[in-house]
Amino acid sequence: MAAGKAVTIPVALTIAGSDSSGGAGVQADLKTFAALGVYGASVITALTAQNTTGISGIHEVPADFITAQIDAVFGDLDVKAIKIGMLAQRGAIEAVVAGLSRWSPKHIVLDPVMVATSGDHLLARDAVASLRTSLIPRASLITPNLPEAAALLDEPIAESEAAIASQGRRLLAMGCRAVLIKGGHGHDSESIDYLVDGSGTIALAAPRIATRNTHGTGCSLSAAVAAGLAKGEGMEAAVRAAKAWISAAIAAADRLEVGHGDGPVHHFHGYY
């Protein structure tokens, strides 16, 4: 059988922790990239022993090996966008910041993973300052949920649209180009995310879906934005497309029977 003509595919890189159950972290990011027509590469920052009911252990990847992975990927692949997730320790953050300085990627989507949906803390307290001062200023977009936005600002969780927009502006002042505050932790009939940039605030609403199967939602949303940017979409267009895609993935999550706890979203809902 003759080989077909090779095609150029945009490359996105995830820098994040591994989820042994496959629903979040690097595994969710790679599934998202594949579902959206982007080639995915990975730099693993930590190994987790986890499943749909929680995390039982975290094994940190040494900073020098994080560096080696970054240089191996960028030394060969034409990376169009990066998604950054779990960076549990300050050393990991410093290794990633140094790698970004060396390779200067165009698009960086930072998901400041601080606490898992299960309640497990994923970011050491002494690493928060490094996240604020070293990594956020390099980001094209940061994607905190409501508790993470509050934690980054040392403030209570915002409970009104005005308060959320205000926190978004203060996060923007940390140096990133845009902020997407995710409203999935709210309780209204709609799940509203707020995109804040230098032009103002845009509310992106979708019906809140009644399901417990939301494992990996935040990881997958930020990866979907990175996929859009890798394909050449503008920021607002990439965020809107990612919001629509993750909403459909959540809506289809109950079609999968995975685990005994909070199951994963359906990354390949468009295919089966």
pLDDT reading at 119 higher than 70: no
Least trusted range by pLDDT, from 31-35, 117-121, 160-164: 117-121
Residues 90-103 have a mean pLDDT of 96
56-92: pLDDT as tens digits = 999 999 999 999 999 999 999 999 999 999 998 899 9
Whole-number pLDDT of residue 1: 47
Quote the CA–CA distance of 98 and 107 in Å, as a whole number: 16
184-195: pLDDT as tens digits = 655 667 889 999
Active site residues: 182, 214, 216-219
Whole-number pLDDT of residue 184: 63
202 touches 195 (CB < 8 A): yes
β-pairing, 190-197 vs 178-181, is antiparallel
229 touches 140 (CB < 8 A): yes
Quote the CA–CA distance of 194 and 76 in Å, as a whole number: 36
Q: Which of 108, 105, 118, 63 is nearest to 85 (CA)?
A: 108
List CB contacts of 4: < 8 A, sequence separation 6 or more: none
From the DSSP assignment, how many helices (H) and strands (E) are in the chain? 8, 9
pLDDT reading at 146 higher than 80: yes
pLDDT reading at 121 higher than 70: no
Whole-number pLDDT of residue 183: 83
State which CATH number among 3.40.190.10, 3.40.50.2000, 3.40.1190.20, 1.10.1660.10 fits the domain covering 11-255: 3.40.1190.20
Least trusted range by pLDDT, from 178-182, 213-217, 220-224: 213-217
State percent of the chain over pLDDT 70: 93
